Amino acid sequence: MAVACARHILVKSEKKAQELKVLLEKGKDFGELAKKHSTCPSGKKGGDLGEFRRGQMVKQFDDVVFKKEVLKIHGPVKTKFGFHLIQTIYRQ
């Protein structure tokens, strides 16, 4: 069973997610931005979701974490919760 560790920033609008992605590309700290802007409770931990198995997250989120490049920041990814910027830390 595939396992991954990821962190994310969840916001209400695609525009906000794009703005944060630009800041990340300019070298801003992911954890700091998550603490400040993420609407997910994980924001308090810098967006850290810890380890989880394939299928535990909504499909759009799972697809990024289990199929896209590790350590790269992906998104905005739209789910029923809002718009995510997702970084997979590792995957096994």
Cβ atoms of residues 4 and 90 within 8 Å: yes
The tokens describing 4, both together, are: 């991954």
- Torsional sign, CA 22, 8, 41, 62: positive
pLDDT at 16: 98
**Considering its fold, how many domains does the chain have in total?**
1
What's the domain range around 84? 3-91
Identify the DSSP state of 3: E
Residue 85: give its domain's CATH number.
3.10.50.40
Average pLDDT over residues 12-25: 98
pLDDT at 1 (0 to 100): 80
Find, among 39, 57, 46, the residue nearest to 7 by Cα.
46
Please tell me the distance from the alpha carbon of residue 37 to that of residue 9, in angstroms, as a whole number: 7
Nearest CA-CA partner of 43 in 71, 81, 1:
81
pLDDT in tens, 26-40: 999 999 999 999 999
pTM of the model: 0.96
